[in-house]
């Protein structure tokens, strides 16, 4: 697992390059290896591992290779090759959560396991159709990513990116009745839209 060396400063995400370096190793990205937590109490329905973590595609030549060669092939094979190593949780009530692009060998759960909110399930990787290490997370109305539709949700108790920045949500008793959306507007510089749908309470890590 990547860990900062003693005395080392924070790791900065490498910028997109036009030509050089064409690719970068995954450890150059701060997200790679970050822990992922169950968003709620749930049952694991899919825990798929084994796909390699490829090098980054964050240069013009590498991005062209991804879009023109890799992506079409992955699309033909199926969604599992696009989302890479992944975990799908059954949250109950016909709602499922998918964690995609996980690091090979990092999964800590198996199909059939029961997990609690906040329990570690794996780590951020760079498997599947990706340009660099990151977590893809969404809710859906079925366990099959090829057939399911997305389900809207809201975050509680965590900051989410807005306008290219991040903000920290304080607990209700600490914010004097100020809504999460108002906090986001103040800290990120523009209003955020509250998505419809039933909020999913719990915790998640990754980006």
Helix (H, G, I), strand (E, B) or coil at 135: coil
Which strand (E) or helix (H) includes residue 45? strand 42-48
Q: Which of 139, 171, 143 is nearest to 154 (CA)?
A: 139
Q: Which of 50, 157, 43 is nearest to 91 (CA)?
A: 43
Q: How confident is the model at residue 176 (pLDDT cuts 50, 70, 90)?
A: low
Cα(177)–Cα(180) distance, integer angstroms: 9
Answer yes or no: is pLDDT of 183 > 60.
no
pTM for this one?
0.67
- Domain ranges across the chain: 26-151, 154-207
pLDDT tens digits, one per residue of 53-90: 877 777 677 777 667 777 677 767 677 778 899 999 99
Chain mean position to CA 93: 23
Mean pLDDT of 155-173: 56
User: Domain 26-151 in CATH: superfamily?
Assistant: Glucose Permease (Domain IIA) (2.70.70.10)
pLDDT tens digits, one per residue of 5-60: 444 455 677 777 677 776 677 787 888 899 999 999 999 999 999 898 877 777 67
Rounded to whole angstroms, what are the CA distances from 101 to 58, 105, 134?
A: 16, 12, 7
Helix (H, G, I), strand (E, B) or coil at 108: coil
Give every CB contact of residue 178 below 8 A, 6+ residues apart in sequence: none
pLDDT tens digits, one per residue of 130-151: 888 889 999 999 999 888 999 9
Helix (H, G, I), strand (E, B) or coil at 16: coil
Contact 78, 128 (CB under 8 A): no
């Amino acid at each position: 697992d990547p860990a900062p060396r003693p005395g080392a400063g924070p790791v900065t995400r490498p910028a997109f390059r036009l030509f050089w370096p064409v690719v970068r190793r995954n450890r150059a990205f701060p997200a790679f290896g970050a822990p992922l937590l169950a968003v709620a109490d749930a049952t694991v329905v899919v825990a798929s591992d084994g796909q390699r973590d490829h090098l980054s595609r964050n240069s013009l030549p590498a991005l062209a290779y991804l879009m023109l060669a890799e992506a079409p092939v992955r699309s033909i094979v199926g969604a599992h090759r696009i989302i890479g190593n992944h975990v799908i949780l059954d949250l109950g009530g016909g709602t499922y959560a998918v964690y995609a692009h996980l690091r090979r060998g990092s999964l800590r759960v198996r199909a059939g396991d029961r997990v609690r909110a906040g329990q570690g399930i794996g780590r951020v990787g760079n498997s599947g159709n990706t340009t660099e290490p990151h977590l893809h997370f969404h809710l859906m109305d079925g366990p099959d990513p090829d057939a399911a539709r997305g389900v809207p949700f809201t975050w509680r108790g965590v900051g989410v990116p807005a306008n290219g920045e991040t903000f920290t949500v304080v607990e209700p008793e600490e914010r004097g009745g100020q809504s999460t959306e108002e906090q986001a507007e103040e800290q990120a510089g523009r209003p955020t839209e509250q998505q419809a749908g039933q909020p999913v309470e719990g915790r998640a890590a990754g980006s």
